[in-house]
Chain A
């Protein structure tokens, strides 16, 4: 089975610019997650979708971050405007259900200069 696809792999932008990341989950996985992983730390959940509805976005900085999942498949995460502290790896994951584990993509490494 194909894995979780993410693009781009790397992105360098200047502060105050905008950026968007794309994720295509495993076919049939209803639940999709975006995590932020700062260097040296574990991943932190930003937003969780169930099909195309938001389940949890309590840790998403909504003044600058937005995410959508159109038609319950692909998802995009946007940052506008970016700050230096947004430099991190952005991981997308999908899951088939409860207690079965996540499958992660390879992530997008964002550097804000």
Chain B
């Protein structure tokens, strides 16, 4: 099983600031998915990136897949308290199997 390392593990910033979360692996994935999880709920899919170098935007969130398909980043512009949560990256191996990183716990303070 391939491993995914997320950094930072914890991040607490003020409303309006920008931030970037990283997801790194030494292995290649067929796709990279980002999920957001709130307390007491299951993870919710934000985006799937498939092609090396691909960039996807979801309102204030920008997701990028590395050229070699081994790493990804999530950038949030002008963070809001509603962005608070656990952000998980997950790499897809063969046969539709997802391997998750340990998560980044993000807190946006008003």
Measured CB to CB, the residues of A under 8 A from B are 4, 31, 33, 35, 40-45, 48, 50, 55-56, 58-59, 91, 93, 95, 97-107, 109
Contacts and interface: CB of A to CB of B under 8 A. Distances in A.
Contacts of B100: 35, 42-44
Contact of A99 (B4, B41, B44, B92): B92
A106 B48 contact: no
A40 to B, nearest CB: 8
Interface in B38-74: 40-45, 48, 50
Interface of B: 1, 4, 6, 30-31, 33, 35, 40-45, 48, 50, 88, 90, 92, 95-103
Contact of A100 (B41, B48, B90): B48
Given A41-B103, A43-B88, 11 more contacts: A33-B98, A42-B6, A45-B99, A50-B95, A55-B95, A58-B1, A59-B1, A91-B43, A100-B48, A102-B33, A109-B40
Contacts of B92: 98-99
A101 B30 contact: no
Contacts of A109: 40
A97 B96 contact: yes
